[in-house]
Amino acid sequence: MMWMAFFAENAWKGTAILAVAFALGAILRGSSASLRHYLWTATFASLVALPAVIGTVPKWSPRTVVYSAQAVTVRGVPATPARRPVPLNWPLILWMVGCTAAAARFLAGAARTSWMVRRAIPADHARAMLEDLAGSLGIRRPVRVLESDCAPMPLTWGVLRPVVVLPDDAPAWQPARLAAVLLHELVHVRRLDLLAQGVAQAACCLFWFHPLAWLALRQLRKERERACDDAVLLRGVAPHDYAGHLMDLVRAISAKRSRWADAPAMAEASDLELRVRALLDRGRNRRPLSRRAAVAIAAAVAAVLLPLAAITAHAQAARGMLTGVVQDPSGARVPNCRVTAKNLDGSNQETTTANPAGEYRFASIPSGRYTIEFAAPGFVLAKTEAVLAAGAATRVDANLELGSVTENVVIRGQKPPSATPAVSAASPQRVRVGGSVTPASLISQVKPVYPAELQQLGVEGNVIMKAVVSKDGTVLHPIVINTVDARFAKAALDAVSQWRYQPALLNGQPVETITSITLDFQLGQ
């Protein structure tokens, strides 16, 4: 459900952005093609940035959340609930399949064009003209001109190291046609049209399911070619001559036009009639994009994108609040407890820390079933499940139990000559606790006596025990919990019963705690 809500939010907000772009395009119908192309480029850039912006901008919602709190108290250490099988996330799978298919379509065209460029040979006959035209356009990047028998039309490829690829019949062109073609392709280079096309294709991959995205991509390509046509005419090329060159190129290459080519190209069979009419229209606005107009378009797109991304009216209904307090067995608050909420219906995991008053709060997290864990030094980890309802506040309080301490003691006896060396045991370990809990500590220890008959037999072993450290530090109810020789067990019980502890303190008061004791009987030389 979380992914479905995410897709739905991006879909309707992307629809709003595209609708505004189409409306602005209609309003700017009398403006220059370069301005309209910049509008579509900014629109596609906003579509690519939309998912990230939704996750970063401060949220605003006109909805009022009604807090109908339900209280759940966590006591002791509940058994970890069985994790239900995670169902397949079909919305995510479907989106990834469509995104992959769209990306494969674009990558196939890019791979074919790149392969064609690598096989192309230098077009020496056009090098001098290209260098002169590039200098007149103010292009500082080095641009190469190549020639390929696989090129269906003149095209441009590359952003950092751009190249202009001409068909293999280009050496037979008249100088006027060659100049017009090179000028058109160099305008693509100066305007970074290939980069703009890459942004648009990325947006179409993300929004492959949206028909308006594909219609917008078609509009961007139309305005791109018309903007380059206008730039060529502004350089002094006669409209009738340029239109004739364009029609001759389309007529010559229409039979070998590759549907996999994905580079900006001068000769496009589609929209040819409208391009020719635009070329011959003397009243058409052909001004290049000004800095003021570019800033205005960018500001308009940002004015639509940012408030739209901040609105969470739809998503707020699927979110709720989780609060509660954490207490110890005496009823006092436990500060700095780490609280983790794991969504069983989604993939999100939220973590927070209780404040000095022992209160925690998740202000807004997706609704659903959660496993909630409470972890604090000196206390046993507590777990529970709770259902977080949409638009409601759920209260989950925790009453933690004290953790136990552990003692490891090694009892050494005389090893007979035939016995094998034993591995030394680890040093005694205790669980570190903090906050208002002081752990029990061993202050008086009587070591067990290694049974003489077991020493003679070369028998080793360990005794694992559980016991209760009372409020006055004595050991109560010691029991052996592992299978061991009865003589080892008796020696261990006799000794441990005489041990004395500094009792554990909870908020300054002595309390009973459980301790684990390991006595390791080893033989030595």
- CATH code for position 395: 2.60.40.10
pLDDT at residue 81 greater than cutoff 80: no
Lowest mean pLDDT among 40-54, 96-110, 496-510: 496-510
Q: What is the mean pLDDT of the chain?
A: 82
Of 50 and 65, more confident = 50
Last residue of a domain, one of 384, 399, 414: 399
Q: Would the pTM of this model clear 0.75, i.e. be above it?
A: no
In a domain? residue 468:
yes
Last residue of a domain, one of 351, 370, 399: 399
- Compute the distance between CA of residue 493 and CA of residue 65 in angstroms, rounded to an integer: 61
Contact status, residue 226 vs residue 187, Cβ threshold 8 Å: no
Last residue of a domain, one of 348, 379, 399: 399
Q: How many distinct structural domains can be found in the chain?
A: 2
Confidence tier at 69 by pLDDT (50, 70, 90): very low
Query: Residue 482 has what pLDDT?
Result: 78
**Domain check: are 498 and 470 in the same one?**
yes
- Tens of pLDDT, residues 384-393: 888 888 778 8
Of 333 and 431, more confident = 333
Of 215 and 456, more confident = 215
**CATH code for the domain in which residue 471 is found:** 3.30.2420.10
- Compute the distance between CA of residue 361 and CA of residue 353 in angstroms, rounded to an integer: 8
pLDDT at residue 272 greater than cutoff 80: no
pLDDT at residue 224 greater than cutoff 50: yes
- Tens of pLDDT, residues 232-252: 999 989 999 888 888 877 776
Of 133 and 351, more confident = 133
**Domain check: are 395 and 413 in the same one?**
no
Q: Cα separations (Å) of 93 from 15, 213, 244, 379, 428?
A: 22, 21, 50, 42, 52
Q: Cα separations (Å) of 337 from 69, 375, 433?
A: 22, 6, 12
Confidence tier at 67 by pLDDT (50, 70, 90): very low
Report percent pLDDT > 70 for the chain: 82
- Compute the distance between CA of residue 309 and CA of residue 58 in angstroms, rounded to an integer: 9
- List the one residue out of 160, 188, 217, 186 whose CA is nearest residue 40: 217
The pair of structure tokens assigned to 301 is: 């797109």
- Tens of pLDDT, residues 419-449: 444 434 434 444 333 456 778 888 888 889 8
Q: Cα separations (Å) of 419 from 5, 105, 422, 519?
A: 69, 75, 9, 20
- Compute the distance between CA of residue 216 and CA of residue 73 in angstroms, rounded to an integer: 55
**Domain check: are 385 and 435 in the same one?**
no
In a domain? residue 30:
no
In a domain? residue 382:
yes
- Tens of pLDDT, residues 365-413: 888 889 999 988 888 888 988 888 877 888 999 888 887 666 677 777 7
Query: Residue 267 has what pLDDT?
Result: 54
**Domain check: are 393 and 409 in the same one?**
no
Mean pLDDT of 130-158: 91
**Domain check: are 425 and 470 in the same one?**
yes
**Domain check: are 508 and 430 in the same one?**
yes
In a domain? residue 146:
no
**Domain check: are 395 and 373 in the same one?**
yes
The pair of structure tokens assigned to 147 is: 């020639």
Report percent pLDDT > 90 for the chain: 34
pLDDT at residue 471 greater than cutoff 70: yes
Phi then psi dihedrals of residue 283, to 5 deg: -90, 5
In a domain? residue 309:
no
Of 92 and 407, more confident = 92
- List the one residue out of 243, 259, 240 whose CA is nearest residue 251: 243
Q: State which of 104-108, 365-369, 459-463 shows the largest mean pLDDT.
A: 104-108
Q: Say which DSSP state 518 is in.
A: E
**Domain check: are 391 and 461 in the same one?**
no
Of 68 and 463, more confident = 463
Confidence tier at 260 by pLDDT (50, 70, 90): very low
Query: Residue 525 has what pLDDT?
Result: 60
- Tens of pLDDT, residues 318-331: 678 899 999 888 78
Phi then psi dihedrals of residue 93, to 5 deg: -65, -45
In a domain? residue 417:
yes
**Domain check: are 428 and 380 in the same one?**
no
**Domain check: are 412 and 520 in the same one?**
yes
**Domain check: are 459 and 506 in the same one?**
yes
Within 13 A of 303's CA, how many CA atoms are on the CB side? 8
Beta bridge partner(s), residue 396 = 72
- Tens of pLDDT, residues 182-213: 999 999 999 999 999 999 999 999 999 999 99
**Domain check: are 430 and 476 in the same one?**
yes
In a domain? residue 449:
yes
Domain that holds residue 507: 405-524
Query: Residue 45 has what pLDDT?
Result: 95
pLDDT at residue 313 greater than cutoff 60: no
Query: Residue 256 has what pLDDT?
Result: 57
Q: Say which DSSP state 463 is in.
A: E
In a domain? residue 147:
no
Three-state secondary structure along 22-85?
HHHHHHHHHCCHHHHHHHHHHHHHHHHHHHHHHHHCCCECCCCCCCCCEEEEEECCCCCCCCCC
